[in-house]
Structure 1
Amino acid sequence: MASDYFHLLNLIGVAFFAISGTLMGHEKNIGGFGVVVVASVTALGGGTLRDVLLNHPVFWIAEPDYLYATYSAIFIAVIFIRHLSHVSNYYMLLVDALGMAIFNIVGIEKSLIEGTTMIVAITMGMTTGIFGGLMRDVICREVPLVMREELYSTACLSGGLTYATLSLLEVSYVWCILGALFITVFLRLGSLHWGWQPNIFRKRSVRKQ
């Protein structure tokens, strides 16, 4: 049963990131096959890096279901875009947040299955959740979301810590996943709606004499 949840989560995460890549390609007026490239890199990049680092067979090569999910999501996103007069960048940020949250969990789970410690698993979850979007933004010549003054990697880390805490308390597997997903998405969307920022390097105000 756990493996079924894991597989389904991975498929959903791939689909969300493929949609976010397609929406970014539309925003940047990338045509033809270029959209497929951007969307595929977004959907598969984070998981590919994760599997390479874990010395594990790359997930979309071992199980082509992920390629079907990627291309299907691209097709659906293209149809969605073609039938709307205007597609806001908000949709891209929304599906990116959902994809990041899901891939964060998938990265943690896969690392733990491979026998890593929890701190390595949390780091691998962040890598899985962030890297695909990072590659998308670089290809499209955008300042990567992870580099902006928003809760992005911090939201991902908070989700990982939530998963670790619930797991340590021996909470049910499903609730560990749901709790981590909720915290990650809540913080990310809160950053978008209310401008939450970590402000780690906030400068001190200088009093005028």
Structure 2
Amino acid sequence: MTELYHWFDLIGVAVFAVSGTLLAYDKKMDGFGVVVLATVTAIGGGTVRDVILDVPVFWLHDQSYFWAILLSVFVTTRLINKQRSISLNALQVADAFGLAFFAVMGAQKAMLAGMPDTTAIIMGVITGCFGGVIRDVLAGNMPMLLKGELYAITCIAGGIVYTLSISLGLVTEMAMVLAMLMTLSLRLAAMKWQLTLHVFKYPD
């Protein structure tokens, strides 16, 4: 079971590293900037989560996370250099997949640490969103978390599905898959149909 969680973590790290690399390309960063942006995107949210939960930071004693980041950077840069362009939605799609993996992994880790469901959902939001927040701030962008289509709300939905599934007695793997699908499908739907949560009436 622990091995399965580790692989889910690595997949989430790799996908978020891809989104960081894509944004670094868009901002015309050098090689070091690419690696930095990919790294903070990939491990930023999980680091904040572990510090809050007061548990060992997940990447400190496991170099496989950095190999996953470097491999993602290498493959992504090779593909971009070969194609000389990226689709307009590539960054957001990569980010959506990373969001789905990390929101659920964050909630799952909080529950393993003995936290109640509400705290687990919040930890899922932090894990899924904060790496992207750091990425966007470093790149000089308004974080996706704070504007545009539904973002953090999708993590909350995924966290609710996960915690409810566990409470209903579903096996952990099935609960994780259902929660990831909820987060991913809701985020992709929000991107496609511009689903937002407006509280102000803007002139435009």
TM-score, normalized by length of structure 2?
0.95
Partner of 1:137: 136
Partner of 1:12: 11
Q: Identity, % of aligned pairs? A: 37
The number of residues matched between the two structures is 203
Q: 1:172 to 1:25 in 2, by over 3 A?
A: same
Give the Cα separation in 1 of the matches to 2:118 and 2:38.
30
Gaps of 5+ in 1: none
Would the aligned equivalents of 1:27 and 1:89 in 2 still touch at CA under 8 Å? no
Deviates more, 1:159-168 or 1:130-139: 159-168
TM-score, normalized by length of structure 1?
0.93
Give the Cα separation in 1 of the matches to 2:202 and 2:59.
48
Give the Cα separation in 2 of the matches to 1:146 and 1:89.
19
Matches within 5 A, 1:1-209: 2-199=1-198, 201-203=199-201
Q: 1:33 to 1:204 in 2, by over 3 A?
A: closer
Matched to 1:30, the amino acid is M
CA RMSD of aligned residues (A): 1.5
Runs of 4+ with >6 A deviation:
none
Highest CA radius of gyration, 1 or 2? 1
> SS of the residue aligned with 2:36?
helix
Give the Cα separation in 2 of the matches to 1:115 and 1:191.
32
> SS of the residue aligned with 1:58?
coil
Cα deviations across residues 2-56 of structure 1 (Å, max 9, x unaligned)?
Answer: 2122111100000001000000000111112111111111111111111111111
Q: CA deviation at 1:58?
A: 1.2
Give the Cα separation in 2 of the matches to 1:122 and 1:106.
10
Matched to 2:57, the amino acid is V
Give the Cα separation in 1 of the matches to 2:152 and 2:172.
23
Give the Cα separation in 2 of the matches to 1:155 and 1:54.
22
Cα deviations across residues 157-204 of structure 1 (Å, max 9, x unaligned)?
Answer: 0010111111111112111111111110111111111111123x1549
Gaps of 5+ in 2: none
Matched to 1:105, the amino acid is V
Q: 1:204 to 1:84 in 2, by over 3 A?
A: closer
Would the aligned equivalents of 1:106 and 1:125 in 2 still touch at CA under 8 Å? yes
